[in-house]
Amino acid sequence: MILISGNDPIVDGVCSALDSLGRPYCRVDRLADHAWEVHPTTLMLVEPLPRVGATASASERGLSEIISAANAPGVRSAIIVTPRPDADAQLREVRRSGIPYTILRPLPVIERAGDANKPVLVTRELVGAPATAVTADMVVDAVVRVLDGSACGQTLDVAPPADMTWSELLARAGVTPKPVAGWRARVGRWLGARTFDAPASAPS
C-alpha cells in the first residue's frame, strides 16, 4: 500500500499512473494521521512545485510529518517530491532522521497547453537551446521509477534528457512553438500574443 499526500496537480498524475500499474494506494490529507492505521509500505509527500512562468507557492507543512509517519510499522520507503534546495534545513533533517527516504527535486514544470493549435512565439535562439524545465509526465515517471526502493537514501534531480531542446520539450507539453526573431517576440508580447520565456535558472 502506498500512502500519498499533497495538493500539487502532479499527485493526480501519480495516482493515474498507479491505477494503470494496478498498485494499491490511498490519498490522504496528512500522512501521520493515517500511517499507523493503514500500514503502508511506501509514503509519498508531494510539495507544491514551481511552474514555468509562475511564482511557486511555498509549502507551509514542513517535512516533520513524513519523518513521523515513516516510523510506523511496515514502512520501507518514504518519497519526497520537492523543489527545496539541496541544502534546505528540513531536507537535512530528513537525511539525519534515519528514515528510508528518497528525495526527488524536479526543475520547474511546464504545463500542458490548453490549445495546442495556437502557436506560441519563441525566439530562434531559445528554440534550439537545452531545455531547463520538465513536463508533468517526466515527474510522474521519476516517481514511478523509485517506487521499488532502489534509490533509497538518494537525492535525485528530475531534469529533461541532456540533449532535449526547448522546442522538443514544448512539443512534449503540447505547445506549438513558432520560432521568431527576438524583436518580434518582444513586440508580440507587447501586443498580447502568446510568448514563451525560459526560466531564469535551475534550483540549486
Q: For residues 83 and 50, is the Cβ–Cβ distance under 8 A?
A: yes
Domains of the chain by residue range: 2-110+134-160
Instruction: Determine the pLDDT at residue 180.
Output: 60
* Least confidently predicted of 30-39, 129-138, 184-193: 184-193
Q: Does residue 139 surpass a pLDDT of 90?
A: yes
Q: For residues 140 and 14, is the Cβ–Cβ distance under 8 A?
A: yes
Cβ burial, residue 178 (10 Å; 0-12/13-18/19+): middle
Mean residue pLDDT of the chain comes to 84
Q: Which pTM was predicted? A: 0.85
Query: 118-127: per-residue pLDDT in tens?
Result: 677 667 777 7
Given CATH 2.40.50.140, say whether it is the number of domain 2-110+134-160: no
Instruction: Determine the pLDDT at residue 198.
Output: 64
Please compute the mean of the pLDDT values over residues 136-165 and round it to a whole number: 94
Closest among 106, 98, 104, 48 to 75, alpha carbons compared = 98
